[in-house]
Structure 1
Amino acid sequence: MKTSDNSISRKDFIKHSALAMAGLTLIPGIMTASPLFNEKNSLTKGKLSLKNVRLETGFEYEEGEVTATKTGLFYIEVDNGKITKVSPNEPDAKAIDAKGFLMLPAFKDMHIHLDKTFYGDKWQAVRKRTGGVKGMIELEQKMLPEMLKNSTFKAEKMIELLQSKGTSYARSHVNIEPTSKLQSLKNLQKALENKKKGFEAELVAFPQHGVFYTDSVPYLKEAAKMDIDFIGGVDPFNVDGTIEKVIDFTIQLALDHKKGIDIHLHETGDSGLKTVEYLIKKVSENPSLKGKTYLSHCFILAKLEAAKQEEIAEKLGESQIGVVSTIPFGRLIMPIPTLYKHNVTVLTGNDSIVDHWNTFGTGSVLQKANLMAQLYGYSTEFLLSRSLKLATGNILPLDDKGTQQWPKAGDQANFVLLDASCSAEAVSRISNVESLVHNGNIVF
């Protein structure tokens, strides 16, 4: 890794940490262990202090246009998993030397399938698809028993990949259907328990093989009683042949168990639009689901005329239904600027890293923010800086007026250090992540 006056390698970063924090020991179970906490104390009692941390402080303007981002060096203290102090730099303090790296909120991958992947196992490319979605269901039914044999190990490896790209939080869909039953969920929960010091996830009970097409109902009902956060779904009309029956079941199960909803919707025809409109109707009838309901992919939005896009985006905003977009390109360019205009929550994720659906996932949501900026011409300093929110789950260091809003004392200590001068550069260059801290624990 190249180094410069204001950057050091990961190895040297850890070395500096060790010199600064005498008498402390290694934390087991983290991707790359780092000497931060006294072994006599629990992790929740550990303290962390950093100097020479670069933070954004405001915008520079010329003739009313944002032309640059102001930054400064600061001193940061962390205790009990939270940021407790953000103050002027203390260059002589006994603290980890961040060497001028830029501190940004840790990244969040809000659409991924940690439970079924080839990553960490032998390389396999996507096979030729036949029979559409139902053909893929048939393929999965054949593959899953073998994939489940080491799915915990592979999930851990994929978590490590995400961490290396600056992500410490994910929303993972997990198969719940008659082939896997609840085994995919149990195996993934083991992986998350093993990685809990440096990673968290919220889980979606995902009926990949249809709610009724393969009779996933009893397994979804059982999963809803377990430690999951969302009830999922996939293409109600194409898979199950019915929109209303699937949505009604999903809504009721979520209400009964106080869960959110996250439905995969790939359908781009009339059935896709009807699904969106029916979900809007049902959420409007059940206000407790507002802010807790999402449509993943929702490719139908890319196929609508501009006026209809505006109408649907406005209704999504009013009902507080979010869109989790994997940002496809080519003929399916999602109307993300229109969604933002109507205050629709937009999230992103890698979806598949390498599995029988896709072979091109990198694990980087910063790359997703970069792709969005390219697709929509967000090339100015201001628009690039705003694009960062796609990678951070809508947390930005500066608000639109350039007022510093993160980090503050009391914020959760989830952050990355990058070799970049500001967030606009980080998005534009997909800057290298030098360190990740999750709940006050240095992951690397």
Structure 2
Amino acid sequence: MNEKWLLNVKLETGAYTDEDNYSYTNTKLFHLKIKDGRIAEQVPCEQSIHDNLEKTDMKGLLAVPSFKEMHNHLDKTYMGLGWRSIIPVTSLQERLELEAKELKELAGSTKDRASRMIETLLSHGATHIRTHVNIDPYIGLENLEGVLSALDTYKGKVTADIIAFPQHGLLRDEVPSLMREAMRSGATMVGGLDPAGIDNSIEESLDMTMDIASEFNADVDIHLHDDGHVGWYTIDKWIDMVENTNWKGKSAISHAFCIGQIPEAKAAQLAQRLHQNQIAIMSTIPLTKTLPPIDLLDRHGVNVHLGCDGFFDSWGPFGTGDVLEKATKFCEITGKKDERSIAQSLKYITNGLTPLNEAGEQVWPRQNDKADFVFVDAESSAHMIARKIPRRAVMVDGTIVYGSIE
């Protein structure tokens, strides 16, 4: 049995709005008893602790739930290869052709490059990573093997969803058989990509995706860049398939720009169907495409998650790997400036967890919650998001796995 105390942890305890409509977050210091990686007890800091358990003074740092990086490509990064920008292209197809040329060249360094990316994400507070990994005719399962090996070195620090991703098309060559081999070799989810724009056959592509998922009883995450009505039609067909196969709660659509390109009434109808079938939306808050209507989706109960996507790779040279920046950018783009709305945006990078609910009541942490924290020198979650406060320490199961409190 592993027990310890975390002393002087700042937690958010409530919120209120004054007569001038200004929002405030209340905080207080607590001592947290950790038992077997979970919160066993929470007491006010005025209460002295006299037992012989290990004690770590967190020095008044604010604790927030650890972050979840929900859309990434560990296998694609150039990290460790020195600086390089990218070759400009005029189409997605041209970008894929250029990527294909370098896949074999980079495959041998996948473990090292992925490890550097994991370390970067962890340093920013992400203790879970959803990564897509190329499965294609050019390298087979080589990237998957490298990513699995890298993740293995971070056991106890980072958990992961590993998506077999047909980046160069599912309906070609031996890709379906390679996808099945990937699922037998350590991938945990089935990926898809633009059934119209890449596979040129929406129903056939979705059918194949569902066939593989059903065979392995696996969740699905489909990249969907296809715009407007074509994208909407693709999501609508996927929902039909989910309903017909009882795949409720086992799929997600990444990017989904199309939902922000259709009339709001139509988007609301689609959001209702997504909610009914527990289909999540994964967004990377890009500057170059229409965002899915995250606030509308949220109002209809759709789970929305953010991720950094690939950064510093053959697709683009920009980004830091800090998923907190995605929450900040989302608030900036959508005009969220008050304490409460900024703070509630934390849920998009924590799998729904926020210290306070929308009514300003404390809902996290609770007894028996996992002791997975990010510690920052901030006054509140809103302060951390708005100012992108550096992470001082990252904790998993009550143990610091990155940074320090010194």
Q: Same fold (TM over 0.5)?
A: yes
Aligned to 1:263, which of 209, 212, 222?
Answer: 222
1:368 deviates by 0.6
Q: Deviations over 1:318-341 (max 9, x none)?
A: 222111011123661331111111
Q: Deviations over 1:129-169 (max 9, x none)?
A: 14x23222222221011111111011111111111111111
* Cα separation, partners in 2 of 1:153 and 1:75, compared to 1, 3 Å: same
Aligned to 2:204, which of 245, 252, 260?
Answer: 245
User: Is 1:260–1:293's contact at 8 Å kept on the other side of the alignment?
Assistant: yes
Q: Deviations over 1:284-312 (max 9, x none)?
A: 2122x212210000111121122222222
Structure-1 residue corresponding to 2:142: 183
Q: Deviations over 1:316-375 (max 9, x none)?
A: 122221110111236613311111111111001000121001211211111111111111
User: Is 1:213–1:239's contact at 8 Å kept on the other side of the alignment?
Assistant: no
- Find the aligned partners of 2:386 and 2:360 in 1 and give their Cα distance: 19
Structure-2 residue corresponding to 1:293: 251
Aligned to 1:375, which of 333, 343, 347?
Answer: 333
Q: Deviations over 1:231-285 (max 9, x none)?
A: 1011111111100001011112112211001000001143212211101111121
- Find the aligned partners of 1:334 and 1:272 in 2 and give their Cα distance: 12
Q: Is 1:125 aligned with 2:85?
A: yes
* Cα separation, partners in 2 of 1:331 and 1:351, compared to 1, 3 Å: closer
Q: Is 1:78 aligned with 2:10?
A: no
Q: What TM-score do you get using the length of structure 2 for normalisation?
A: 0.94
- Find the aligned partners of 1:47 and 1:144 in 2 and give their Cα distance: 47
Aligned to 2:71, which of 111, 115, 139?
Answer: 111
Aligned to 1:328, which of 286, 290, 293?
Answer: 286
Q: What TM-score do you get using the length of structure 1 for normalisation?
A: 0.86
Structure-1 residue corresponding to 2:393: 435
1:90 deviates by 5.6
Q: How does 1:36-75 map to 2 (within 5 A)?
A: 46-63=2-19, 67-75=23-31
SS of 2:5's equivalent in the other structure is: strand
- Find the aligned partners of 1:272 and 1:383 in 2 and give their Cα distance: 30
- Find the aligned partners of 1:187 and 1:80 in 2 and give their Cα distance: 31
Q: Deviations over 1:386-442 (max 9, x none)?
A: 011112121111122222221122111211101111111111111111000123331
Structure-1 residue corresponding to 2:356: 398
RMSD, aligned α-carbons? 1.8
Aligned partner letter, 1:275 = T
User: Is 1:198–1:441's contact at 8 Å kept on the other side of the alignment?
Assistant: no
- Find the aligned partners of 1:311 and 1:363 in 2 and give their Cα distance: 34
- Find the aligned partners of 2:272 and 2:148 in 1 and give their Cα distance: 37
Q: Is 1:361 aligned with 2:361?
A: no
User: Is 1:197–1:441's contact at 8 Å kept on the other side of the alignment?
Assistant: no
Aligned partner letter, 2:33 = E
Gaps of 5+ in 1: 1-44
- Find the aligned partners of 2:160 and 2:130 in 1 and give their Cα distance: 5
- Find the aligned partners of 1:423 and 1:199 in 2 and give their Cα distance: 22
Q: Deviations over 1:22-62 (max 9, x none)?
A: xxxxxxxxxxxxxxxxxxxxxxx544421110001111232
User: Is 2:71–2:306's contact at 8 Å kept on the other side of the alignment?
Assistant: yes
Q: Is 1:173 aligned with 2:129?
A: no
* Cα separation, partners in 2 of 1:205 and 1:331, compared to 1, 3 Å: closer
Q: Is 1:213 aligned with 2:169?
A: no
- Find the aligned partners of 1:194 and 1:123 in 2 and give their Cα distance: 25
Across the two proteins, how many residue pairs are aligned to each other?
Answer: 398
User: Is 2:257–2:289's contact at 8 Å kept on the other side of the alignment?
Assistant: no
Structure-1 residue corresponding to 2:112: 153
* Cα separation, partners in 2 of 1:290 and 1:282, compared to 1, 3 Å: same
Gaps of 5+ in 2: none
Aligned partner letter, 2:68 = K
* Cα separation, partners in 2 of 1:408 and 1:275, compared to 1, 3 Å: same
SS of 2:354's equivalent in the other structure is: coil
Aligned to 2:56, which of 96, 105, 120?
Answer: 96
SS of 1:398's equivalent in the other structure is: coil
Aligned partner letter, 1:339 = L
User: Is 1:101–1:417's contact at 8 Å kept on the other side of the alignment?
Assistant: yes
SS of 2:109's equivalent in the other structure is: helix
Aligned partner letter, 1:389 = K
User: Is 2:229–2:262's contact at 8 Å kept on the other side of the alignment?
Assistant: no
